[in-house]
């Protein structure tokens, strides 16, 4: 579907600079924009591409100063990144809506299926499971006994949701993710072997949670592993048994959270961060990539870097010495040699 600059500007409450009748039918990055597409400029590092892009329309912030010739039509908006998100959401809504239950899906008789759902081929839905209205279950999804899938939730191919787990409304779970696998619980029987501890709890995802591809969220030993409302998880994240993640926290890829750790609300966690078990992280904490958390963080809004993680200011001061370690070692070796030579003379 094509949209003119005039229509887009009206939708975004933006101001046009250029041809209001130019039309687009796709999106591109500003650095490799193509004719017939719309791009956006939010990061100043990409400003140089505004003057060379082939994109037909570019969204820019209202306060951006254009200091060269541009060939595209510009639409000035309050926030170009958020405006692009609104456009993509509109585009997504234009796609055909999948509905209906495929005759190659297997649904146990005791399961409850809501209205206007989509259940694709090779889906299995277990005993006493519930799929609420408007949910979309794509092919090759397994939903275990007594599991609940909330209203409007989308579950992409290959997801496995084990028995008695709860997924709230308007959630999105991407392919390959497993929710409700056993937590890593073993009791030593001797110095060489272990006895498995049954994991009898479940996993609860509250409303508006998005889980990336190939994540694993373990069921609780007892009680629940809980992902609160609005949490966003990237791909390849491991969340262990009895973890609780506070509302609107975002976590980047390859992070691992050990058992019984509690993350506060509105935290931001970079990629490849590791959390020790049984610790608590306050609300609003920001954690840089590859950090290691081994103790409680009690101060809200704190920024942490490093492994073990320390405060941002302390880390930056320490880094001055980290990067000089080879030179400092060489200096110490030279001083040691000089001292030894002086001792020989004595």
Q: pLDDT tens-digit profile of 93-113?
A: 878 888 999 999 999 999 999
In whole angstroms, what is the distance from residue 240 CA to residue 257 CA? 6
What is the tens place of the pLDDT at every residue in 21-54? 999 999 999 999 999 999 999 999 999 999 999 9
Residue that has been written with the tokens 């506070």 in this structure: 246
CB 195 within 8 A of CB 177: no
Mention the CATH class of domain 3-93. alpha beta
pLDDT of residue 344: 82
CA distance 129 to 108: 8
| Domain map (residue ranges) of the chain | 3-93, 100-314, 320-345
Task: Tell me if residue 241 is catalytic.
Answer: yes
Tell me what pLDDT residue 321 has.
80
CB atoms < 10 A from the CB of 327, how many? 9
Nearest in space to 86 (alpha carbons), one of 167, 168, 10: 10
Distance in angstroms (rounded) separating the CA atoms of residues 134 and 155: 12
What integer pLDDT is reported at residue 119 of this predicted model?
98
d(C-alpha 239, C-alpha 257), whole Å:
5
φ/ψ bin of 83: left (φ > 0), alpha (ψ from -120 to 50), beta (otherwise) = alpha
Residue 27's DSSP bridge partners are 38
- State in words which class domain 100-314 has: mainly beta
Q: For residue 120, what are the CA distances in angstroms to 13, 93, 116?
A: 39, 20, 13
Q: Measure Cα distances from 100 to 118, 167, 173, 257 in Å.
A: 5, 21, 20, 38
Structure tokens, 207: 């409303």
The answer to whether 294 and 279 have CB atoms below 8 angstroms apart is: yes
In terms of Cα–Cα distance, which of 127, 133, 94 is closest to 113?
A: 133
For 154, how many CA atoms within 13 A lie in the half-sphere containing its CB? 12
SS3 228: coil
| Residuewise pLDDT in 10s, the chain (346 residues) | 689 999 999 999 999 999 999 999 999 999 999 999 999 999 999 999 999 999 999 999 999 999 999 999 999 999 999 999 999 888 888 788 889 999 999 999 999 999 999 999 999 999 999 999 999 999 999 999 999 999 999 999 999 999 999 999 999 999 999 999 999 999 998 778 999 999 999 999 999 999 999 999 999 999 999 999 999 999 999 999 999 999 999 999 999 999 999 999 999 999 999 999 999 999 999 999 999 999 999 999 999 999 989 888 888 888 878 888 888 888 899 999 888 888 887 6
Cα–Cα distances in Å, from 263 out to 59, 186, 286? Answer: 36, 24, 11
pLDDT of 318: 83
Q: Which of 140, 174, 241, 278 is catalytic?
A: 241
Q: Which helix (H) or strand (E) holds 154?
A: strand 154-155
Token couple for 30: 């500003």
CA-based R_g, the chain, Å: 27
Q: What is the DSSP letter of 128?
A: T
Residues 6+ apart with CB under 8 A from 145: 108, 126, 127, 128, 129, 163, 164
Question: Which residue, among 282, 286, 244, 290, has the nearest Cα to 269 in the 3D structure?
Answer: 286
Per-residue pLDDT, 317: 83
């Amino acid at each position: 579907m094509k949209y003119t600059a005039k229509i887009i500007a009206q939708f975004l409450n933006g101001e046009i600079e250029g041809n209001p009748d130019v039309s687009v039918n796709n999106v591109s990055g500003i650095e490799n924009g193509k004719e017939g597409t719309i791009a956006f400029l939010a990061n100043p590092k990409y400003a140089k591409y505004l003057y060379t892009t082939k994109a037909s329309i570019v969204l820019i912030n209202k306060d951006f100063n254009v200091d060269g010739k541009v060939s595209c039509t510009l639409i000035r908006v309050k926030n170009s990144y958020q405006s692009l998100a609104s456009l993509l959401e509109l585009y997504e809504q234009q796609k055909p809506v999948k509905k209906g239950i495929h005759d190659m899906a297997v649904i146990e008789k005791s399961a409850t299926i809501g209205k206007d759902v989509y259940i694709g081929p090779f889906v299995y839905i277990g005993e006493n499971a519930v799929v609420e209205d408007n949910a979309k279950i794509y092919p090759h999804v397994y939903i275990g006994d007594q599991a609940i899938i909330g209203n409007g939730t989308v579950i992409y191919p290959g997801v496995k949701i084990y028995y008695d787990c709860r997924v709230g409304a308007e959630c999105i779970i991407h392919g390959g993710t497993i929710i409700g696998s056993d937590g890593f619980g073993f009791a030593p029987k001797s110095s060489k072997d272990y006895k498995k501890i049954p994991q009898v709890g479940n996993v609860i995802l509250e409303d508006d949670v998005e889980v990336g591809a190939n994540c694993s969220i373990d069921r609780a030993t007892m009680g629940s592993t809980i992902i609160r409302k609005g949490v966003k998880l990237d791909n390849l994240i491991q969340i262990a048994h009895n973890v609780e993640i506070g509302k609107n926290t975002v976590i980047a890829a390859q992070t691992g959270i050990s058992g019984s750790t509690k993350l506060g609300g509105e935290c931001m966690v970079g990629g490849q961060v590791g959390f020790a078990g049984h610790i608590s992280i306050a609300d609003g904490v920001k954690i840089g990539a590859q950090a290691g958390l081994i103790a409680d963080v009690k101060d809200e809004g704190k920024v942490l870097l490093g492994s073990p993680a320390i405060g941002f200011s302390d880390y930056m001061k320490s880094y001055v010495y980290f990067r000089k370690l080879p030179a400092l070692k060489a200096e110490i070796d030279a001083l040691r040699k000089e001292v030894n030579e002086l001792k020989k003379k004595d």
